[in-house]
Chain A
Amino acid sequence: MIIPIIGLLLGIILGLLSPITIPIQYSSYMSVAILAALDSVFGGIRSSIEKTFNIEIFISGFFGNAVLAAILTYIGDQLGVPIYYAAIFAFGVRLFQNFAIIRRYILMDYKKNNNKS
């Protein structure tokens, strides 16, 4: 679990040091893309615990979800329908679900180790 966290910190530092900023009107696309990415990461952690992890699915999900969410937001902006609430809702629900499952596994692990010792 340490390696992903190191990765996240490295990414944050890189982002803070780089001079890139995105135009403010695109920031809503970026925010749903972030949510989609976050969802993928939680999904990845969950499947790695369940030992069903598949690199192709994980990577394609990460980029695919982020791009799809951004596209939906764009279409929604053009149509005047706030589709991006749907993305926020869907990813949000999934995020919490995945977190709940991960939590359960970790708690179970912890209890098992306690019983052993």
Chain B
Amino acid sequence: MNRKVYIYYLFILAAVIGFITTVQFKANITYQGIVTIPKLLDLQQEIANIEAENKQLNDSISEQALKLALYKAGVESTGSAFGSMQNELEKARNYSNYNRVQGPGVIITLNDSQQEVAEGEDVAWYLIHDIDILEIVNELRSAGAEAISINGERVTSTTSIRCGGPTINIDGKRHAVPFIIKAIGDPKALEASAVAPESYIELYMGYTGIQVEIQKVEKLIIDGYYGRNKLLYQRKAEGGEAK
């Protein structure tokens, strides 16, 4: 290869490199760092979360828009929003679980096991504990239960369920077996969640023969909450953001 040809080759190569570099530079791409799988997974997770929040916000906005429209209509027809506010109070009371509500749902009845305690096993496994009820209530919530009661005690956001010797205290009130959990919601979805193979009932309660009965009901009535006053410490946050 003589010297001249070699120069031409280099010239063409240099031109190509120059061209590619400028094109890339013009694209003005922000550097992402080294892309790794965990990084991508994190990004995906974060997007999913914000999307879930956006969905909540969107739903909430349409609800507010409806409320506002009702207020406006109320003011136009009666001169004040008083009537609409009364309806609003009705709804808020339902949301706050102080109202008696009715609707379709399921009744789950739990009773301690009647089986003989097998040798070397703890009798505690054959009894119903606070954690069992907590888990079942949590699963009902996941399945979209709108109102839940345990032996007539309405379950609110601050309901506590704790073992107290042979009985279970629900919001501080003693209850013994059988435990009757009523839940209002889509009966099919609620029943499905309770009998699913990976449900808490199937996984942990079948083995020791704790008696579980699940019943779909067309019309259930669940009483409102009538326990302790929950406005001793909290008050409405005026102005400023709760952050």
Contacts and interface: CB of A to CB of B under 8 A. Distances in A.
Contacts, number: 8
A24 interface: yes
A27 B41 CA distance: 12
B36 A28 contact: yes
Q: Which secondary structure characterizes the binding site on chain A?
A: helix
Contacts of B37: 24, 27-28
Interface residues of B, number: 5
B120 interface: no
B239 interface: no
B38 interface: yes
A27 B37 CA distance: 8
Nearest to B40: A24
A30 to B, nearest CB: 10
Interface of A: 24-25, 27-28, 85
Interface of B: 34, 36-38, 41
8 contacts: A24-B37, A24-B41, A25-B38, A27-B37, A28-B36, A28-B37, A28-B38, A85-B34
Given A24-B37, A27-B37, 6 more contacts: A24-B41, A25-B38, A28-B36, A28-B37, A28-B38, A85-B34
